[in-house]
Amino acid sequence: MTTVSTSTDQKPAATAAPASGPMPLGRALNAGMRQALATNDRVLLMGEDIGRLGGVFRVTEGLQAEFGERRVLDTPLAESGIVGTAIGLAMAGFRPVCEIQFDGFVFPAFDQITSQLAKMTNRLEGAVPMPVVIRIPYGGHIGAIEHHQESPEAYFTHTPGLRVVSPATAGDAYWMIQEAIASNDPVIFLEPKSAYWQKGEVDTTAPALPLHASRVVRRGTDVTLVGHGAMVGTLLQAAALAESEGTSCEVVDLRSLSPVDYGPILDSVRRTGRMVYAQEAPGFTSLGSEIAATVTERAFFSLEAPVLRVSAFDTPFPPAKLEGTYLPDADRILEAVDRALAY
């Protein structure tokens, strides 16, 4: 009989946090996971080709060489097995971080996530935490095909028992991945893959905000623009163009998709009287639908116009040459701004 040890055989390395400064979002995620691995020897990384290769986007590059094959595990091509194993590891006291190569590949693990991972702690009356992080690169703008550019966040925000977050900046990526790993609840960590190479300032001394806080990233007075992930950059681009035409747009980065921090959104809408939500996901029964409905309920008497949504179309993701038409861009957002101001 073979006995399998639960020891990692790897002591955490004594390592200082990286120096503050600009770095790409993907590199910030790498640095954040490195800190988590070094701080807690119960943290494990699991995924397809994440070890020697460093993942398809090289987000885990160098981590297996530093922490060993017992801490950074290359798995078979079986998402259901990855998540199922992570659940067992969590029950044994580990903190597994699973990488799903692309957004569309998460669905083979959907049963494990929604039927088991999200419900296990409640099923066991709170006695067993489920500190599992599932990293999912999501969204478009990389010129790929279906299953490689989708935005499946609504499936997970609709599932009680899961926390769902998405960083838009390198600074948030560095801290949010560490906070997600430290959580005793399962976290779906959505990484905007088109933003992996965008540089941003990272303060490694302290997080700017808690994990589930939304944030105003640009002040304005006429219209509130809200979004998450890579769409935040598009909203900022639209706001800059609107300013050149005399319209002042405030931009709110949602950051946490479940739970949602409505405070900054409602404060903004009560000042501007108008709101546009933009997302790469299709619009029907989407996260944007829920936020639009909630803002309408809670800020009804402050609204000067209906809350508008700008989304991808309700069709499967098209061939790469059509993604610029399928996904919302600054022009489609500005068209919604014009409609909101016309009321």
Q: Active site includes 148?
A: yes
Helix/strand/coil (H/E/C) assignment for every residue in 138-153: ECCCCCCCCCCCCCCH
Residues 205-226: b if buried by 16+ CB within 10 A, e if exposed:
eebebebbebbbbbebebbbbb
17-64 confidence digits (pLDDT tens): 788 899 999 999 999 999 999 999 999 999 999 999 999 999 999 999
Integer CA distances (angstroms), 257 to 170, 179, 226, 228, 279, in order:
18, 15, 12, 8, 12
Integer CA distances (angstroms), 38 to 14, 43, 89, in order:
7, 9, 19
Q: Are residues 229 and 139 in contact, defined by beta-carbon separation less than 8 angstroms?
A: yes
Q: What is the pTM of this model?
A: 0.93
Catalytic residue among 141, 148, 212, 228: 148
Q: Are residues 296 and 204 in contact, defined by beta-carbon separation less than 8 angstroms?
A: no
Q: Which domains does the chain show, CATH number per domain? A: 21-202 (3.40.50.970), 215-342 (3.40.50.920)
| Alpha carbons 84 and 71: distance in angstroms, whole number | 17
pLDDT attached to residue 19: 81
56-70 confidence digits (pLDDT tens): 999 999 999 999 999
- The single residue listed with the structure tokens 């078979």 is 76
User: In sequence order, what are the residues at sequence separation of 6 or more whose Cβ sits closer than 8 angstroms to the Cβ of residue 262?
Assistant: 214, 294, 295, 298
Q: Starting from the edge strand earliest in sequence, which strands make up the sheet with 95-99, in order?
A: 72-74, 43-47, 95-99, 133-138, 187-192, 163-165, 256-258
| Alpha carbons 177 and 331: distance in angstroms, whole number | 32
Q: Are residues 326 and 149 in contact, defined by beta-carbon separation less than 8 angstroms?
A: no
pLDDT band at 15 (very low <50, low <70, confident <90, very high): low
306-343 confidence digits (pLDDT tens): 999 999 999 999 988 899 999 999 999 999 999 999 99
